Amino acid sequence: MDITRQQTGALTAEIHLHLDSQDYKPDVDTKLKETARSAAMPGFRRGKTPVAIIRKMAGKSLVAEVLNEKVNHLIDEYIREQELPIVGSPLPKTIKSEADFDPNCETPMDFIFEVGLAPEFELNYNLPGLPPLYTVTVDQAFLDQEISRLRKYYGPYERPEIVEKGDSVFGFLAEVNEEGLNVEGGFRKAIGMREPENVDERIWPDFVGKTKGDRIPFDQFIPAENTEAWFAHNFYLSLAPGETLEGKKIVWEIESIGRIQLADIDAAFIGSASQEYNFALSEEATYEELLDAMRAHFEKVLSEDARRHVESEIYTLMIDSHPLELPEEFLKRWMTVRGEETKTADEADKEYPALSRSLIWNLITDKVQKDYPEMKVSGDEVTARALTNLRAAMRRYGQELSPEEEQNYLQSYLRDNNRAMNDYYNLLYDKVIRLIFERQTLAKTPISASEFVKVIEEKKNAPVGTV
C-alpha cells in the first residue's frame, strides 16, 4: 500500500492511494465467507453455498463494498495522522463502476481523492465593534407595563356590542363592487385584531362605535407597498402567493367583538402572578411584595439578556474580522455531490456565501480549542442539557416526569446520535462564545429596563448584518 499527497493549488490537494492485491484480498475473502454462511441459493442448503460460487455471482459488488469501506477508512486515517486541515469532505476524482473491480482480487487498485484545505491564520480575539454591556435597572414604567399585561391575561373576557379602541375585532375582508355587494368568487378572508395595541392607529377612528354586521371600507388603509408585511404585522394575516388587493374595493365585515377587562389587583391576582413567575410568596403577600419580587426577578433576567445581547454579535463580528480565503471552486463542487444535501450548480452558487461563513466559524472554533485545550464538552454536560430541555418542555405542558421516566427518556435520547451531537455542538458553541465574551473589555452602560427593551426590539428589526 502506498498513500501520498500532491498539492494542486494554494488550498487544494490530491490524495493518491495505491493498493496491491494483498492489501485488500484478505478483507474480500473474509466478506465472501461471511456471505456464504448466510446465503440461500437453489441447490444448496442455507449456509452451504461454496465461496467460489458466491465469488462468481456477487464477487464484483462485494469487492466494491469492501474497498469502499477500506478506502474511506484509509483516507480518513491519513488525514487524521497528517493533521490535514480539510474543509468539506474528500471527493473521488473518478467514480469507479463494478466493472472496474476484480472478483479474484489479483489487480492492483488506484484511487485519487481531491481535498479542500483551510488557510493558515492567527485568531484575533479583539472585537472593537461590540455593543456596550448594559447594566439594567428595572424602572416603574416597565413594572407597570408587566402588571398591565398580567391584568389583561387574568382579566375576564367580554363580548360587547359596540367597538371601543383597544377591542379585539374579528370578521372578514371581502371584495365588493361599486354597489357595495360582495363580488362572486372575489377575495374573502377571515381577519382579526389579535393584538389591538399593535394595530395601525389609522384604522381606529373608522372602527370605534361600530357594531356586529357593520361593513367598513378598508382598501383606504392598505399600503401600496409592503402589503404582505403590513397585514402580517397588524393582523397576522398571510396573503396567498401572487395574491394582490391592488385596484379592489375591500370592506371589513365585523363578525364579533372581544374585550378584556383588567383583573382587579387582589389576593387572587397576586397569587396568580406569583405562580406565573414561580415566586415563593405567601398567600398573605401584599402587592408591594409582588412588585419587589418582580423587580428582583427581572433584574436577573435582563442582566442575562444584556450579556446575550453582546454575545449575539460575537458570531457575526468574529467571522467578519477573519475574512478567510477558502477553496471556493472545490466547495461548490462538493455541495453538488454531498449525499442527501446535494445542490444544483445554481443552488451552490446561491448558498455558498452562507456555507463559507459557517465553515469560517468552524475554523475559528477549532482554533479556540487549540488555544484552550481544556475547553471541552463532556458527556455529562450533554446529558444534563438533554434533561434540562426535557424538564422545560414538560413544564410548558404542565406535566412532570418521574425519575424512572426521565431515565428512560435519556437512554432513548443518547441512542439518537443526531440529537446528542446537536446538543454537543450547541454546548461547544456556547462555550466558545462565552470565552470570547470574557476576553473583551466592554464599556458598561446603565440603562432602564424600558429603554433596554427598545434596544432589543430595534436590533430585531434592524437589517441583517448591522450591529
Q: Which CATH superfamily is domain 2-117 in?
A: Trigger factor ribosome-binding domain (3.30.70.1050)
pTM for this model (two decimals):
0.71
Kindly give, in sequence order, each residue whose CB lies less than 8 Å from that of residue 38, ignoring residues fewer than 6 positions away.
Answer: 46, 47
Give the pairing of strands 109-117 and 12-19: antiparallel
Q: What is the pLDDT of residue 465?
A: 45
Helix (H) or strand (E) run with residue 14 in it = strand 12-19
Helix (H) or strand (E) run with residue 283 in it = none
Beta-carbon count within 10 A of 75 CB: 19
Closest CA to 351 of 378, 372, 332, 374: 332
* Dihedral over alpha carbons 324, 328, 330, 333 (to 10 degrees): 140
Give domain limits for the chain: 2-117, 133-137+297-461, 157-260
Q: With contact defined as beta carbons under 8 Å apart, do 258 and 168 qualify?
A: yes
Residue count of the chain, please give it: 467
DSSP letters for 338-402: SGGG---HHHHHHHHHHHHHHHHHHHHHHHHHHH-TT----HHHHHHHHHHHHHHHHHHTT----
- Joined together, the cell numbers standing for residue 141 give 414604567
Q: What is the pLDDT of residue 464?
A: 46
CA atoms within 13 A on the CB side of 166: 6
Distance CA 287, CA 230 (A): 39
β-strand partners of 350:
none
Distance CA 352, CA 358 (A): 10
| Top CATH class, 133-137+297-461 | mainly alpha
Residue 233 phi/psi, 5° resolution?
-70, -45
Q: With contact defined as beta carbons under 8 Å apart, do 219 and 248 qualify?
A: yes
CATH topology of domain 157-260: Chitinase A; domain 3 (3.10.50)
Distance CA 359, CA 326 (A): 9
Fold match, 2-117 / 133-137+297-461: no
Q: Which tens digits make up the pLDDT trace of 26-66?
A: 988 888 777 767 666 666 667 666 767 777 766 788 888 88
Whose cell is 375582508? That residue is 173
Counting as low any pLDDT under 70, the low residues of the chain are 36, 38-45, 47-49, 51, 57-58, 339-340, 396, 398, 461-467
DSSP letters for 160-172: -SB--TT-EEEEE
Beta-carbon count within 10 A of 19 CB: 21
Kindly give, in sequence order, each residue whose CB lies less than 8 Å from that of residue 309, ignoring residues fewer than 6 positions away.
Answer: 131, 134, 455, 456, 459
Task: Please report, for residues 90, 114, 330, 333, 340, the alpha-carbon distance to residue 93 in angstroms, rounded to integers and kept in the order given.
Answer: 9, 6, 11, 11, 20
- Joined together, the cell numbers standing for residue 33 give 465467507
| Max Cα-Cα span within the chain | 93
Whose cell is 418521574? That residue is 402
Q: What is the pLDDT of residue 388?
A: 85
